[in-house]
Amino acid sequence: MEDLFEYDVFLCFAGKDEELVKPLWQEMSLSGLRVFWSDETLKENVGQSFFEVIQSALVKSRHFLLFCTDKAMLSEWVRIEYVTFFNECYLPSRRKRRLVLFKTKDFDKSSLPPFLRTIQLTESSEEVIKNLGGVDILMLKRENKRLNEKVKLAEGEIFELKGEITKRTKAYKALQGRFRDHISLKEHEERLKEREREIWKKVDLVEKQDVDIQSTGSEIKAGAILEKEIKKQVFTFAYIPPGEFNMGSPSDEPGRRNDEILHKVTLIKGFYMQTTQVTQGQWKAVMGDNPSNFKECGDDCPVETVSWNDVNDFIKKLNELNGSDGKYRLPTEAEWEYAARAGTDTPFAFGKCLSTDDANYSGNHPLEGCPKGEYRRKTIPVGSLKANNWGLYDMHGNVWEWVEDRYGDYPAGSVSDPVGPESGSIRVVRGGGWNYDASCCRSAFRDGNVPGIRINLSWVSPCLFEVLNFVLLNFYPFKIFLESNMGNISKS
């Protein structure tokens, strides 16, 4: 999908703070972000006012970063810039465009206008760069250092091998006359040369990896964004890296059930997962109807009241629309829990308790020992609450989600890329819903239902499977895979 923005970030600050803000601008630029940050960036046309130029730059910027100082809060131009972006860019499209507040050490949050006080402030430039899609420079330096050490080790092996060739060549020349019936010196030299070629191949591979990392920025980071447009609907995905985790729950976890046997799972290949659940608008664009019970919630709310069979009809049509670009499917139960945990081992991706500020569920029934919260009694627009560490929303609550597996007992030992039982009449659902208690929303909680039933489930998060690097994409409320050529997919 074509990038509609000329800048990644509009950096807003008071003119008197320019020297103070310059190091942050330099770090963002080094991370690969395109930053609109000073008068030097402006391109005024004849007859165009300064305000018009600023307003145009705001529209062309994907995200907005406010450098919060006491001087900035007194600047009229700063106020005009953040009010304009908030009203004209952030509110109409808050799932796609971010408003980030960077505070200096002595800045008092109470000096912010009321409508900005609900946005969390940060003092970390690394956190800013990560949230706005930049490259982790420190990680690149560590990776380059590691590869340089590999090259040095390979060079040491080559040096030792050359010494061995010289030594053995001399020995065989001395014995050549005495052992003519044995292996010839020429054959032995060829074998040694072949070993030398193998060592050089290793060096070439290490050097190629080094070049790839320097040219592409790094291996794909967890949470890296990928966008795909289908039927004029934009699906946004976050990268989930390969790895291993403990699936299930420990025996002392509150709300635990007997079918949550703790066991180690390894997922060999990374995958992408849609950052939000599949919406009513996306479903209507593909299927032409809307089966949801909460239609009044709007196109940005998750589609629900769909069966596992309905989901596969959707996937079939999605594959037909996608043509040669790929193949979608539901994720496995293990892939779903790995993505939901996002590197954590607590009951929820956010810790031991689940706040209703972070998830939509029956707040009257929190996990044992945790405080009560709000009970909204309905679904809410996707992406309204907090994302997990890998940028995924609503993995706890809002609506249940179908997965590919049949329901069955977990294996007793460690497994790699499990796919569930080969037979059975029940399909697994995960994640909990708006009208369920917190224990049902835990990362380890599992339940199931017959594939033909229609209840208020968020049935899928489609996943995308890449032929080149076996990448998995996850749409909510269902998850499917897509086989495709990476050249047809754009990263944002």
- Examine residue 23 and state whether it is found in any structural domain, yes or no: yes
Nearest to 10 by CA among 63, 52, 82, 75: 63
pLDDT on residue 378: 95
User: Where residue 483 sits, what CATH number does that domain have?
Assistant: 3.90.1580.10
Alpha carbon distance 492, 484 (integer Å): 18
Q: β-strands 243-247, 233-240: how paired?
A: unpaired
Confidence band of 202 (pLDDT split at 50, 70, 90): low
Identify the band that residue 349 occupies on the pLDDT scale cut at 50, 70 and 90.
very high
| Identity of residue 196 | E
Given this model, what pLDDT does residue 216 score? 43
Q: Is the pLDDT of residue 380 over 90?
A: yes
One-letter amino acid of 265 = V
Note whether 35 and 61 are same-domain residues: yes
Residue 399 pLDDT exceeds 90: yes
Give the model's pLDDT for residue 139: 65
Greater confidence, 369 or 50?
Answer: 369
- DSSP per-residue codes, 182-217: S--HHHHHHHHHHHHHHHHHHHHHHHHHHHHHHHHS
For the stretch 362-377, pLDDT in tens is 999 999 999 999 999 9
17 and 153 assigned to the same domain: no
Tell whether 375 and 268 lie within a shared domain.
yes
Residue 403, beta-bridge partner list: none
Per-residue buried b or exposed e for 148-180, using 16+ beta carbons within 10 Å of the residue's own CB: eebeeebeeeeeebeeebeeeeeebeeeeeeee
Question: Average pLDDT of 273-281?
Answer: 88
189 exposure class (CB count in 10 Å sphere: 0-12, 13-18, 19+) = middle
Statement to judge: residues 387 and 367 lie in one domain? yes
- The helix, strand and coil proportions of the chain, stated in percent and rounded to the nearest 5, come to 35, 15, 45
Minimal CA–CA distance to 282: which of 225, 361, 228, 323? 228
Top mean-pLDDT range of 31-45, 149-163, 208-222: 149-163
Tens of pLDDT, residue by residue over 220-265, are 889 898 888 888 888 888 888 999 999 999 999 999 999 999 999 9
pLDDT averaged over every residue in the chain: 81
For residue 191, tell me if it sits in a domain.
yes
Distance CA 164, CA 155 (A): 14
> Do 88 and 146 fall into the same domain?
no
Rounded to whole angstroms, the Cα distance separating 426 from 122 reads 46
3-class DSSP state of 253: coil
Say if CB 66 and CB 24 are below 8 A apart: no
- pLDDT greater than 60 at residue 465: no
Whether residue 1 lies inside any domain: the answer is no
Q: Which domain holds residue 388?
A: 225-491
pLDDT for the residue 438 = 96
Claim to verify: residue 126 and residue 150 sit in the same structural domain? no
Flag whether 203 is in a domain.
yes
Burial 214-240 (b: 16+ CB within 10 A, else e): eeebbebbbbbebbbebeebebbbbbb
- Answer whether residue 80 shows pLDDT above 80: yes
Q: Is the pLDDT of residue 128 over 80?
A: yes
Say whether both 275 and 411 belong to one domain.
yes
Are 267 and 346 found together in one domain? yes
Quote the pLDDT of residue 50. 73
Model pLDDT, residue 183? 56
**Domain boundary residue among 185, 216, 247?**
216
- The label of the residue with tokens 């709000």 reads 374
Q: What is the mean pLDDT of residues 105-129?
A: 88
**Domain boundary residue, one of 131, 150, 181:** 131
For the chain, percent of residues with pLDDT exceeding 90: 43
Measured CA to CA, the distance from residue 18 to residue 487 in angstroms comes to: 40
The pLDDT of residue 207 is above 90:
no
Domain co-membership, 101 together with 148: no
The pLDDT of residue 481:
45
Domain closes at, from 94, 109, 131: 131
Are residues 160 and 304 both part of a single domain?
no
Give the pLDDT confidence score for residue 148 in this predicted structure.
Answer: 78
Residues 125 and 167 in one domain: no
Predicted local confidence at residue 127, as pLDDT: 86
pLDDT of residue 474: 31
pLDDT level of residue 141 (50, 70, 90 thresholds): low
Q: Is the model's pLDDT at 76 over the cut of 70? A: yes
User: What is the rounded distance in angstroms from the CA atom of residue 401 to the CA atom of residue 419?
Assistant: 17
Q: Is the predicted pLDDT of residue 323 greater than 70, yes or no? A: no
What whole-number distance in Å separates Cα of residue 10 and Cα of residue 492? 16
Local structure of residue 88 (DSSP, 8 states) = I
Quote the CA–CA distance of 454 and 327 in Å, as a whole number: 25
Residue 238 lies in a domain: yes
Give the separation between CA 399 and CA 293, rounded to whole angstroms: 12
CATH code of residue 66: 3.40.50.10140
**Weakest mean pLDDT among 147-161, 287-301, 457-471:** 457-471
Tell me which DSSP letter residue 90 carries.
I
Q: Are residues 363 and 402 in the same domain?
A: yes
**Domains in the chain, number:** 3
Distances, alpha carbon 367 to alpha carbons 60, 168, 347, 355, 372, in Å: 44, 72, 9, 10, 9
Question: Is 193 a member of any domain?
Answer: yes
Residue 2 falls inside a structural domain: no
Within-domain flag for 94: yes
**247 pairs with which residues across the strands?**
263
470 pLDDT band, cuts 50/70/90, is very low
Burial annotation 407-431 (CB, 10 A radius, 16+ → b, else e):
bbebeeeeeeebebeeeeebbbbbb
Rounded to an integer, what distance in angstroms lies between the CA atom of residue 80 and that of residue 465? 45
- How many Å apart are CA 148 and CA 171, to the nearest integer? 35
